[in-house]
Amino acid sequence: MSIFTGAGVAIVTPMKPNGEVNYEAFAKNIEFQIANHTDAIIVCGTTGEASTLTHEEHLACIRFCVKQVAGRIPVVAGTGSNCTETAVYLSKEAEAAGADGLLVVTPYYNKATQKGLKEHFKIIAEAVKIPIILYNIPGRTGGVNILPETIVALCEETPNIVGVKDATDNFIQYAKLMALAKGKVDVYSGNDNQIVPFLSLGGKGVISVLSNIAPQQTHDICAKYFAGETTESARLQLEAIELVGALFSEVNPIPVKKAMNLLGMEAGPLRRPLTEMEDANAAKLEQAMKNYGLL
C-alpha cells in the first residue's frame, strides 16, 4: 500500500531572523497545509533546507512535525545522506519519532555506481521497518542517476523500498521505469510542471514545492485526475505553469520562501549559501502570484 496518493508538500523550514528554526511559524504552516487538504507532509527535504540543518535540528524538525500533525496525514521524513551510516542514523531516529515513511536521496558528491547505490539503499532499508521512497535528482547529486532497472530491483528485492520521487526531468526514463515496474513501484513526480503527465502513466502523485503556497490547488490537480476528470486536472496543471516557472527561476527554496513571505506566512530568511532573490526574478514571481490569484 502506498504511503500516500496525491499531493504531498515538500514543506519549508521557517527560520527566525537570527537563523534559528521558527517552530511557531512551522506549526502554522503545517496547520495551513492540513486545512487545505494536502495529502502528506514531506519534512526536511531539499525545500526544507535539510543540507544546512545540523543533525540535532534535522531530527528536532522531524519530531516537531510528527507531533504537530498527530496522525492526521502521513509524514515522510527526509533522511538521506552521502554517508550510509549517517543516513541509517537519521532514518532510525525518524522511525523512532513516528514518521510514516522516509525519503532517501541519492548520495551526492561520492558519485556511487549502480552497485553502490543498491547497497546504500538496502543497508538503510534493512535498518528500519517503515517504507522508503527513493529520491532521484541527478541535478543535485553530481549527475548520479538511479537507473530504472536499479529502482525496480530495489523495490522487488527489499520489501520496504516502495517507490521513488523522480526529479530527473527525463520523461523517457520515467516511461521506461513505469514499463519495467508493472505496478510494483510507487512513482511521484518531483516537478510541479509535470504532475498530470506523471499521473497519466500511472504515477501516485507529486512531492510538491507549489503546495507550500497553493496546497488546495495542487491537491485538486491530483484529485481531479484520479476522479476521472482529466480535462479539469489538465486545466489546473496548465493554469499553474507560469507560477511554477517563477518558483524555479532561482534554485529551490529561494523563490518559494520569498512567495511565502509575500503571503505573510513567515518563512523567514534562507541559510547560507542561499541568498535572497534577485529583484527582477522577485518581481516576476510576485506578478505570477497575482496572475494565479494568490495576491
Query: Which residues are catalytic, by number?
Result: 135, 165
- Encoded amino acid at 64, one letter: F
* Cα dihedral across residues 286, 290, 291, 292: positive or negative: positive
3-state secondary structure of 294: coil
- Residue the block writes with cell 545522506: 81
3-state secondary structure of 84: helix
**Alpha-carbon separation of residue 60 from 13, 101, 279 (angstroms):** 11, 16, 34
User: CB 23: neighbour CB atoms within 10 A?
Assistant: 16
**Alpha-carbon separation of residue 17 from 20, 92, 271 (angstroms):** 7, 31, 10
Kind and range of the H or E element at 244? helix 241-247
Kind and range of the H or E element at 201? none
* Cα dihedral across residues 89, 94, 100, 102: positive or negative: negative
3-state secondary structure of 102: strand
